[in-house]
A and B are shown apart, each in its own frame.
Chain A
């Protein structure tokens, strides 16, 4: 049983090599998803590294990442498979004469139809199937990490479509039959929680919530992403961001913003935070004018606290 602990610790260090600092919670869920072959549904505010986790996982597992970005109106012809209509049409034109040869000597219409029936549905075979991300992930020879990003943006119908894939790793194509995965992909779904997902979908997934990290963890993340930054500046920066998150903001600064800010401070050759510097670069951290207006008068007290 300590085996599990060891493997999870290994996973954490492997992810760290890819520049992803994972908490215990994240690593445990990822480990379980791999062992139990379950999809993971990741929720959390934007910018906490949901998509990044999929990237890092793909790198650790040394498997290709197949990404499907969801949006309103996404349907199976864009997500799952489509028929190559133009290729079918082209073949029909090219093979017209061939068809005449085949059909030569048949008697009457019913004879010709009978003959055609014997030829099978050649135009609806896998050669004419255009695999989209979901099918690509299933058919991958080496296994894959399938990232279904922002599932909450897709319609309800699409959620139902996913159920079969998530539960059995199989896809029904009416003209061909069921296509099963050669290697079961690791599926990662992310959601920004703009709407409730259906219970059926949630039931099939392991659930992982990634909140804004604690100061210590965020410090380590910044350190791994922006290693050139000085110790003092990093500490100040993380503390500052944490106190900014206490405000009622339209958009809370996420980890990605913290990293961006650290990079821009580095570019400005800063080695510690001061008022002028923060005021000039606040728009990297906060994305709304209202938020900036809210924070600006508090800058001095915020800076005093983070010293």
Chain B
């Protein structure tokens, strides 16, 4: 039974619910306390220790339904218990826990009696096939065979969709399928009665094939393609965006949100620790004169936190627009730790887009911005000059400016003077360049000149590099 629970927890993890070892232990004691009989009870009990956010609760609900083939209405639960009545208590529990569960335990009851049971039944079933009850029994028998075969084939190890074929073959082998197929063929050439039987066998086989397919689908659904996804995510973090397929780009926003959440939670903690400040000796002494100068009440020096502002300017021209979108998404997702952010985009003139992000969800805002300001070749001269005009009276020693662009101005005005003016005023001016360093200063790239008017020019060729850069930035800004 424990094995079943562990499998369930594994499936929850695959579905993206984070469950620690301690919570697993909790789940075990919950199950021990409540028993497996009353599923509604088990559902609520396990929910209390496994699903801890709104999102997780929904995942848990669908996983529980999938895994235990379970309907929350009590009458249905009773029915499934009735069907399992005849079997021993152990397998009863397993059966109630559905196919996944019995894979752990029931693998031993070998192949031998399967062929037998199939043949023994065949005669009776033909006679009784009209009454619905025996049909249902037959169906259960077929299903039990498939479940046993699946256990033999170790279906729970199925991870990738590409393994579908292998596991299908293994299960069919465990079901003695090749033998049955030749039997069907042999009987098909015989007399009328034999042909009838061959047709019946064929029908049984079709039903089982369908079951096998369903079971494999379900297993894939349960593992939720988790490992393939994890590999993909790792790949996406390291690969260059320009080389990335549109298909993968669509999957970026959730990944970015995940990375941003990690960053935010780390820097939130630091922020609080830094706020403590130094003891105010004078005030402490003054206020404690009543106690003979013994400092019973301590006072800390109140430090006014100066809010730092971040200005992000992104190039929306064709070559780097994908990166700009990633950066803007990242910065928006970091809103919790970077409250004062203003975003600007440019192809020609710079436009502020902070309002769009405030009134629409991030992805929708991006689409809107792309539509309004995107597509065109970059004119750095106009962009930097108009950017300076918009923000110069706000920029001070607490401001941080991030510019994302490849610094390729198509030979036009560089706007370097405007940049230098900002550089001299701001606390930090960073230039993120998505191009690999080897390509800098080739062709029309002006990045060397921009380097002289920035505190740091960084290459942000992959999501991982961008994550590190922002991590450093947050440490600096705190």
Encode contact with A along B32-44: 1 for CB under 8 Å, 0 otherwise: 0111111011001
- Chain A residues near B44 (CB, 8 Å)? 24-25, 28-29
Q: Please determine whether B49 and A24 come into contact, CB atoms closer than 8 angstroms.
A: no
Using a Cβ–Cβ cut-off of 8 Å, how many residues does chain B contribute to the interface with A? 31
Say whether B374 faces chain A, with CB atoms less than 8 Å apart.
no
Q: Please determine whether B49 and A207 come into contact, CB atoms closer than 8 angstroms.
A: yes
Encode contact with B along A188-217: 1 for CB under 8 Å, 0 otherwise: 000000001001001110111100000000
Q: How far is the CA of A196 from the CA of B268 in the complex (A)?
A: 12
Using A1-B34, A207-B49, A207-B51 as known contacts, say yes or no to A24 and B40 having CB atoms under 8 A apart: yes
- Chain A residues near B57 (CB, 8 Å)? 209
CB distance from A77 to the nearest CB of B (A): 10
Measured CB to CB, the nearest residue on chain A to B18 is A199
Q: Please determine whether B48 and A8 come into contact, CB atoms closer than 8 angstroms.
A: no
Among residues 46 to 72 in chain B, which have CB atoms less than 8 Å away from a CB atom of chain A? 47-49, 51-54, 57
Encode contact with B along A36-80: 1 for CB under 8 Å, 0 otherwise: 101011000000000000000000000000000000000000000
Q: Please determine whether A203 and B23 come into contact, CB atoms closer than 8 angstroms.
A: yes
Say whether B394 faces chain A, with CB atoms less than 8 Å apart.
no
Say whether B160 faces chain A, with CB atoms less than 8 Å apart.
no
CB distance from B389 to the nearest CB of A (A): 38
Say whether B203 faces chain A, with CB atoms less than 8 Å apart.
no
Q: Please determine whether A1 and B52 come into contact, CB atoms closer than 8 angstroms.
A: no
Say whether B247 faces chain A, with CB atoms less than 8 Å apart.
no
Measured CB to CB, the nearest residue on chain B to A204 is B22
Q: How far is the CA of A38 from the CA of B37 in the complex (A)?
A: 23
Say whether B278 faces chain A, with CB atoms less than 8 Å apart.
no
Encode contact with B along A122-163: 1 for CB under 8 Å, 0 otherwise: 000000000000000000000000000000000111000000
Measured CB to CB, the nearest residue on chain A to B51 is A207
Using A29-B44, A89-B294 as known contacts, say yes or no to A1 and B49 having CB atoms under 8 A apart: no
Say whether A282 faces chain B, with CB atoms less than 8 Å apart.
no
CB distance from A182 to the nearest CB of B (A): 23
- Chain A residues near B54 (CB, 8 Å)? 209
Say whether B360 faces chain A, with CB atoms less than 8 Å apart.
no
Say whether A96 faces chain B, with CB atoms less than 8 Å apart.
no
- Chain B residues near A89 (CB, 8 Å)? 291, 294, 296
Say whether A2 faces chain B, with CB atoms less than 8 Å apart.
yes
Which residue of A24, A25, A38, A202 contacts B52 across the interface (Cβ within 8 Å)?
A202
- Chain B residues near A202 (CB, 8 Å)? 52
Chain A residues with a Cβ under 8 A of chain B: 1-2, 4-5, 8, 24-25, 28-29, 32, 35-36, 38, 40-41, 85, 89, 155-157, 196, 199, 202-204, 206-209
List 20 extra interface pairs beyond A2-B38, A209-B57, CB under 8 A: A2-B37, A4-B34, A4-B35, A24-B41, A25-B44, A32-B34, A32-B45, A36-B26, A36-B29, A38-B26, A38-B49, A85-B291, A85-B296, A89-B296, A156-B272, A204-B22, A206-B26, A206-B49, A207-B47, A209-B54
25 contacts between A and B (CB under 8 A): A1-B36, A1-B38, A4-B38, A5-B38, A5-B41, A24-B40, A24-B44, A28-B44, A29-B44, A32-B34, A32-B49, A36-B26, A41-B52, A89-B291, A89-B294, A89-B296, A156-B268, A156-B272, A157-B272, A202-B52, A203-B52, A207-B49, A207-B51, A207-B52, A209-B57
The 6 tightest CB contacts between A and B, nearest first, are A1-B35, A28-B44, A206-B48, A29-B48, A207-B52, A85-B296
